[in-house]
Amino acid sequence: MSAVLAAGATSTHEAVVFWILAPVSVLAALGLVLVRSAVHAAVLLAVVMLSLAAFYTTEDAPFLAVVQVVVYTGAVLMLFLFVLMLIGVDTADSLVETLRGQRVAAVLLGLGFAVLLVATLAGALGSFHTKGLAAAQADQGNVVAIAEKLFSTYVFAFEATSALLITAGLGAMVLAHRERIEPRRTQKDLMLERVRRGGAGLAPLPGPGVYADHDAIDTPALLPDGSVAPGSVPEHLQVSAATPHTDETVKELGR
Amino acid sequence: MSVDNYLYLSAILFTIGTVGVLTRRNAIVVFMCIELMLNAVNLTLVTFSRMNGSLDGQIIAFFVMVVAAAEVVVGLAIIMSIFRARRSASVDDANLLKY
């Protein structure tokens, strides 16, 4: 492996990994731009990030590969999903164009940019000789070599990132903080409100008709006249309780 | 296979991220596209590090990851506070500073 790296060439297994994962990552990135649901976009971004982690391992950067999985796929993407859940997963993109022709212009711009980048790369890399990392890492391995550089040459940058992380954490706390405008409603307030309202809310809600009839929690309790007692089924189960489990419906279901 | 292919791949990924930032409306998806661009640049840095036979590129990629993590934390907090005030995560709705 190190002899191959010293020569700067790539091995066959690296080529296999590249030609499998490069199309996958490009397709996933295209999907990230094209899908409407933000959750699908997050999953596709995870695919891109994981394939990049695989590229890092083949490129002799195992430390960065692990950091990529832990920090990006683990922390950053989970944060994205967390905020998506807070904001509401069903916030799909609006398809209304605010500026006319902006999408077409953006795609054309992107194509031009890609051509420019690839042409520049092709021109600049023509005669470049790849050195490989074998000499830089010597026999101490990737992680130790990175640590030595990080805590000598880059120690001030490293300290600056700690200040940056603390500032970012504080900033997030300040931004996410919300001042309470009205006093918090205690249990006593809720109780007083309920008593003042009076009526059926004072006593506990009727339990579901589990033991009376069938052994499912969405079985509503029945009143003496055979009608369904309101509030006897938790509201999240109301959908399945639309057809109460009377003897006829149970027979129909074959239970 | 040549090592250059990694650079072409990362150029393509970066371009896709740029187009995403320009076309998408949902602030969170725009943010994901920015992350895609940062990732593409990281791939370039790692490849350059290998081509030059020096670990500096990998260390700079590491710093990019740290800064990206900090950026995501603050950016998502901003998106959340905008959502709280305006009940929308669309970048078109935040237009109070227009004109």
Vertex B86: Cα angle to B84 and B88 (nearest 5): 90
In angstroms, what separates the C-alpha of A196 from chain B's closest C-alpha? 32
Indicate the length of chain A as a whole number. Answer: 255
Distance of alpha carbon A176 from its chain centroid, rounded?
19
**B contacts of A149 (beta carbons < 8 Å):** 55-56, 59
pLDDT for res A89: 67
CA distances from B81 to A35, A49, A178 (A): 25, 27, 9
Instruction: Give the separation between CA A114 and CA A119, rounded to whole angstroms.
Output: 8
pLDDT for res A27: 96
Instruction: Give the separation between CA A252 and CA A173, rounded to whole angstroms.
Output: 56
Q: Do A133 and B70 count as a contact with CB atoms less than 8 A apart?
A: no
Q: Do B70 and A165 count as a contact with CB atoms less than 8 A apart?
A: yes
Q: Do B1 and A136 count as a contact with CB atoms less than 8 A apart?
A: no
pLDDT for res A7: 47
Q: Do A33 and B33 count as a contact with CB atoms less than 8 A apart?
A: yes
- What pTM, to 2 d.p., does this model score? 0.78
Number of H helices, E strands in chain A: 11, 0
Instruction: Give the separation between CA A93 and CA A63, rounded to whole angstroms.
Output: 37
Instruction: Give the separation between CA A121 and CA A113, rounded to whole angstroms.
Output: 12
b/e per residue A217-248 (b: at least 16 CB within 10 A)? ebbbbbeeeeebbeebbeeeeeeebeebbbee
pLDDT along chain B (99 residues), means of 10: 89 95 89 94 93 91 94 92 83 76
User: 């996410």: which residue's tokens?
Assistant: A176
A110 touches chain B (CB under 8 A): yes
| Rounded percentage of chain A residues whose pLDDT exceeds 90 | 40
Spans of chain A below 70 pLDDT: 1-9, 89-95, 200, 210-213, 236-255
Facing A175 at nearest CB: one of B61, B70, B77: B77
Q: Do B65 and A98 count as a contact with CB atoms less than 8 A apart?
A: no
Q: Do B16 and A29 count as a contact with CB atoms less than 8 A apart?
A: yes
By the 8 A CB rule, do A138 and A145 touch?
Answer: yes
- pLDDT tens digits, A61-74: 999 999 999 999 99
ipTM of the prediction greater than 0.85, yes or no: yes
Residue of B34, B41, B51 to mutate for A, most A C-beta atoms under 10 A = B51
A192 touches chain B (CB under 8 A): no
B26 three-state secondary structure: strand
